[in-house]
Amino acid sequence: MTTPQQGSQWYVDFFKKDYLDIYANAPNRSFTEARAAGETAFVERALGLKPGAEVLDLCCGQGRHAVLLAKRGLRVTGLDLSPELLALARQAAASERVQLELVRSDMREIPFPDRFDAIINMFTAFGYLESEDEDKKVLAAVHKALKPGGRLLMDMLNREWVVSNYIQNDWHRGGDGTLYLERRDLDLVTSRNHVTFTIVPPNGPRRQGGHVIRLYTLTEMINLLHDAGLTLTATYGAFDGEPYSVFTRRMILVAAKV
């Protein structure tokens, strides 16, 4: 893993074991079963999903939400670029004995026109790409893949919260003693957050990797959605239904295909 730079395809290399370890051991415990269950229940309520509905988990990762949605009787497809994470999603589906269609593809290329009742995009999986024009291609692909009247739910990091709670250097330690050093460089001109992780195991070589994410404001997202033929219908600040504000860590958007 190498330090990410703006314009580099960091997302090709980052989503492997180190990514899973960093967030599984983070202080807010990003990957717990309880958290995934709460988020999935909220998604079902917010989108009004009924058993049998067709759902795409766009950038599904290791299948945390896709598997739980399938257990609720939904017909779920997971799409991701990482073969390592897709393999874990496949294992999770087999372990839970649910049907899960898994596809390896770039998020700009969703090969299912007019198929889905709903598409979800979780855990700040938008803003990865090299420019706003490339991000627009994702929303255009979402519009094409949704049925008329279909809905999109996007779970994003709230830019306003990031700015007001900015800490450049941080660290946490995993249960096995591994030290995770995190450096954040927020570029207010480009609105890109460059995050570099240095992983220092008790025994073994030091490793480095990270991500670069374009943080969008609510106003910017409304405009991007509109340009893609999607209309914002609801905004939340947390998975308990808290209203969105400058003080909420998340910015959860629901939009409909028009």
Tens of pLDDT, residues 41-81: 999 999 999 999 999 999 999 999 999 999 999 999 999 99
Whether residue 223 has pLDDT greater than 50? yes
Tens of pLDDT, residues 169-182: 999 999 999 999 99
d(CA 74, CA 107): 21
Taking residues 210-233, report their average pLDDT.
98
CB 184 within 8 A of CB 165: no
d(CA 29, CA 116): 31
Q: How confident is the model at residue 6 (pLDDT cuts 50, 70, 90)?
A: very low
pLDDT on residue 8 = 59
Q: How confident is the model at residue 29 (pLDDT cuts 50, 70, 90)?
A: confident
Q: What percent of the chain has pLDDT over 90?
A: 93
Whether residue 7 has pLDDT greater than 80? no
Taking residues 239-253, report their average pLDDT.
98
Whether residue 2 has pLDDT greater than 60? no
How many CB atoms neighbour CB 31 within 10 A? 17
Whether residue 194 has pLDDT greater than 90? yes
pLDDT on residue 129 = 96
Query: What residue ranges do the domains of the chain occupy?
Result: 10-157+215-257, 162-212
Q: How confident is the model at residue 11 (pLDDT cuts 50, 70, 90)?
A: very high
pLDDT on residue 51 = 97
Structure token pair of residue 136: 């627009």
- Give 132: exposed, middle or buried? Use CB within 10 Å, 0-12, 13-18, 19+: middle
pLDDT on residue 5 = 53
Whether residue 1 has pLDDT greater than 90? no
pLDDT on residue 137 = 98
The per-residue pLDDT of the chain, averaged, comes to 96
- Give the homologous superfamily in CATH for domain 10-157+215-257: Vaccinia Virus protein VP39 (3.40.50.150)
d(CA 151, CA 83): 27
Whether residue 37 has pLDDT greater than 50? yes
**Chain CA centroid to CA 65, Å:** 11
